[in-house]
Amino acid sequence: MFPALETELKQETLPDPYEDFMYHHLQYYGYFKAQRGSLPNSATHQHVWKNKPPYLVSGSFGEREDVIPDPLQKEKLLWPTCLPSTVRRQIEAVSRDSLMLRSPLKSRQLLHDKFGEVKPCLQEPRDLFAFFSSSGPLQAPRWPIECEVIKESLCHIEWVPPQPEYFYQPTGNEKLPEIVGEEKGTVVYQLDSVPTEGSYFTSARVGGKRGIIRELAVTLQGPEDNTLLFESRFESGNLQKAVRVDTYEYELTLRTDLYTNKHTQWFYFRVQNTRKDVTYRFTIVNLLKPKSLYTIGMKPLMYSQLDADTHNIGWRREGKEIRYFKNNTEDGQQTFYCLTWTIQFPHDQDTCFFAHFYPYTYTDLQCYLLSVANNPVQSQFCKLRTLCRSLAGNTVYLLTITNPSRTPQEAAAKKAVVLSARVHPGESNGSWIMKGFLDFILSNSPDAQLLRDIFIFKVVPMLNPDGVIVGNYRCSLAGRDLNRHYKTILKESFPCIWYTRNMIKRLLQEREVLLYCDFHGHSRKNNIFLYGCNSNDRKYWLHERIFPLMLSKNAPDKFSFQSCNFKVQKCKEGTGRVVMWRMGILNSYTMESTFGGSTLGNKRDTHFTTEDLKSLGYHVCDTLLDFCDPDRTKFMQCLAELKELLQKEIYKKFNELGQDMDLEGSWSDISLSDIESSTSGSDSSLSDGLPVHLLNIAHEVNQKKKMHKKKKKKPLQTRKQRNEQYQKNNLMRELKLTEDILLHGRDKGSSLDPSKMTSLILTKHKERMQEMLTRTRGAAIHREVCLTPTVTRERSVPRQRSQDSQCRALQREAQIPAKSRFQI
C-alpha cells in the first residue's frame, strides 16, 4: 500500500547515525573505552527498545493494558505528500484528539521486564562514558599537545623496608661541587618541547604530542660507554636537562610547572646503563626554596628494577654526602639552590628511578578505583561518580561512601565528612594517606561499618589530575595554584575547585558537615600536623583544636600537636580550609604530612614509609569515632587540657615581651590569633591571580582603558582647599603682572631700581585688591538685600580677612630681592 513505508521499516534496524558518530568521537578522544558488546545495562535497555517497533499503550499510564503496534505512526510521515491539504487538516485534528487518550512512548529511559514489555518507570541516567569495564582498558591520561610521552607503562611495587630508614647524619666533610653548566659539560638529555612562561594551555589528547617520539638520550658508542641514559617523559615524571660534567658526575635541571617559570621541587626520573660499585654524583641546580628537609637529614628515594624483579624490593632511601646549598649566581639574576648527593647502584646494566617522594600517579588511582568498582561488596556502599572534567579532559572522581539507610529519617540524620587530596600534584604523600583512609573505611571492620552507618563520606581523591600527570609540583594547567582559588567564579579555568566548592555548598544545604580535611605535603617541617581556623564563636571556643589533639594522642609517634596552627592569614583566604570554614564548617583543616619523617616517640629520626602514611588514614577514622562518641568524657578532657595549654602559652608570650599581667578570670578573652605565629606554609602569592590564558586579554583591556581614560581633576572638597587654590591663582596673576611691568620697562630702554620696582608692584597690587574688594562688597550687598544685617556682616568678615592675609603674603614676597624672584 505504501512502498516508502516498507523502505523506512527496513532502515529501522540500521544504527542511529548520531549514536554511531558519538561512539567513534568519544572513542577517538579517549572518553569511551568500553566495547559495544559490553555496554552498561542502561545502554542495553536502550538497544532493546530501539530494535523494537514503536508501541502505544492504551488506557491510563498507571495501568497495564495490552500493547498494540501502531503502524499509522509510520504512515503519518507520508500524509503531507499523499493527501490533499483539507483531508490532511482533518486527520491532524483527529490525531490530536486521539493523543489525549493514547500517548506514544518514545523515551529511551523506560525499562522492560523479562517479557519485553514496557514498565512505566524511568531507569537511572546513562553516564557520559563508561567508568570502568572489567573487560576493557582504563581511561588513558590526557596530556597537553606540547608534551612528548613515551609509550612504555611504568609500574612500581609497594614495599615496606624491614628496618627503619634513619635520617642522614652530616659528617662535615661533604664535598660542595662546583656548578659548571653545559659550557664545560656535555648535554646528555634535554626536553625541547616544554611549554613555559608566556604560553598557555590550549588543548590535550591521549598520548600528548602527535608524531614520532624522539630519542632524547645520547646514543651509546659501544658496550664500554658508561654514559647514563636519562628519561622523564612518563606519567608524573620531571626532569628537564642532564649535563655530564665528569665521568660519573651529572648536573640536573628540573622542569618548572607547565606554563610558569616557578615551582621546582618535585623530581622523578629514570636512569639506565648503570655501573655497579661506582660512586655517582647527582646535583640538582635550580631549586627555588631557601629551606629544605634535605638540610636536616632527608634522603632521596631510589628504585631498582632488578631488585624489584628478583628480590621484591621497592622504593628505599639512599644517598650519601647530601648537601643543600645556595647556588652562586650573578647579581640581578634569580637565586637558585642546589641539592647534591652521591650513590652507588646495586647492579650493572640496571634501570633505576629517583624521586622526591613515593610517586602515586593518576593511573595508580584509576587501578585502585577499578578494584573498588569490581568488588561486589564494596560497590554496594561506595558509589563512584564524575565530579567534573579537568582542563585537559581527565576525570575528577567523587566517591560517596555510606551504608544504605533503613528509613528516610535515618538518612537525613547522617552528618557528612568531606576529604580531598592532591590539589598540589607534587605532594604525593596526600595520596598515600587517602589510600590508607579508603582501605579502612571500605573494609569490613566493625569500626568502619559504624562510621558508614553514622556518616556520609564525600571523597575527592585527586583534585588536580592534570598536574599529577604532567609532573607539576604545585600548579594546574592554568599555571596557578588551585589552593588559592577556592573563591573563584571562573568555572572554565578552575573546574576542579569550582565543582568541589559547589558540591560542598549543596551538601551544606542538605545536612551538617562535621569535618573537612584536605591532605597536603610539607617540604620544610617533619612530622604530620594540621592547620585549622580559630572559631570566633565563644560558644565553640577552642573546639576546632579538639580533633587535632585527639589525633595526636592516637598517633603520638607521627602527629605533632605542637606544630599545628590555627591562625587565619590574609594570604590564605583562598585556601580550601578557610573558604570551607567561612561557609560554616567549624572543623575545617589542611593536613600537612612531611616529605621526611618523624621526630617523635619510637619513630624519632626515621623516614616515613608508605605504610606509615596509610596508617594515618586509619587514625583519622579512629579519631572520628572518639570525636563523635556519645560519651563526652574524652571530649571534655581534651577541652580542659587545651585551656591549660593555652593559658601557659599566654603566660609565655607575656614573659617574652617582658610584661607581667594578672590573667585570672580574663585570659580567655585574649584573641587566639595574637599569640600564634604565621603558618610556615608555602607562599604561593606569585601563583595567584587570573589563569595564564586570561592574562594577555586582561592586559589588552587595561591598556585600552588607559588610552580612553580622561584625566579628571580632583574636586576640591573642603573650604581650606578652596582658599589655598584661590591664593595660588592670585599669586600667579601677580607674577604675571610683575613680568609685564619688567618687560614694559625694558622695551622703553630704562632700568628700574629694585626698591622702586617693589613699591610699584605693591601699588599696583593695592589698586587691584581695592577694585576686587569694592566689587565683592557691592555684590554682597546686592545679594543680601533681603537678608538681615547680621548675616551680611557674618559673610563679609571672612572675605575681608582672606583679602588681608593675601596682602600680607604678597608683602612678604615683595621683600625678596627682585633678581632672585624674577630671573629672566
Catalytic residues, by residue number, are: 592
What span, in angstroms and rounded, lies between the C-alpha atoms of 306 and 314? 10
Residue from 63, 67, 43, 36 nearest 53 by CA: 67
3-state SS assignment for residue 357: coil
Q: Could you tell me the CA-to-CA distances from 228 to 154, 192, 219, 244 in Å, in that order?
A: 19, 19, 10, 9
Contacts of 317 (CB under 8 A, 6+ apart): 161, 165, 299, 300, 301, 302, 607
Burial of residue 145 (number of CB atoms within 10 Å: 0-12, 13-18, 19+) = middle
Cβ–Cβ < 8 Å for 393, 483: no
Torsion of CA 512, 518, 524, 530, to 10 degrees: 20
Helix intervals (H) in 689-718: 692-708
Cell numbers standing for residue 184: 664545560
Bridge partners of 337?
287, 326
395: enclosing H helix or E strand:
strand 395-401
Contacts by 574-578, CB closer than 8 A, 24 or more apart: 574/483, 574/484, 574/485, 574/486, 574/487, 574/488, 574/688, 575/483, 575/484, 575/486, 576/420, 576/423, 576/483, 576/486, 576/500, 576/516, 576/518, 577/516, 577/518, 577/531, 577/532, 577/533, 578/486, 578/533
Amino acid at 126: R
Cβ–Cβ < 8 Å for 409, 459: no
Cβ–Cβ < 8 Å for 403, 449: yes
What span, in angstroms and rounded, lies between the C-alpha atoms of 365 and 459? 13
805: enclosing H helix or E strand:
helix 789-814
The helices-and-strands tally (H runs, E runs) of the chain is: 23, 27
Burial of residue 356 (number of CB atoms within 10 Å: 0-12, 13-18, 19+) = buried
What span, in angstroms and rounded, lies between the C-alpha atoms of 550 and 27? 49
Contacts of 656 (CB under 8 A, 6+ apart): none
Cell numbers standing for residue 70: 501502531
The alpha carbons of the chain give a radius of gyration, in whole angstroms, of: 39
Contacts of 188 (CB under 8 A, 6+ apart): 217, 218, 227, 228, 229, 230, 242, 243, 244, 250
What span, in angstroms and rounded, lies between the C-alpha atoms of 359 and 426? 9
Cβ–Cβ < 8 Å for 673, 534: yes
Bridge partners of 594?
522
In the block, which residue shows the cell 483539507? 86
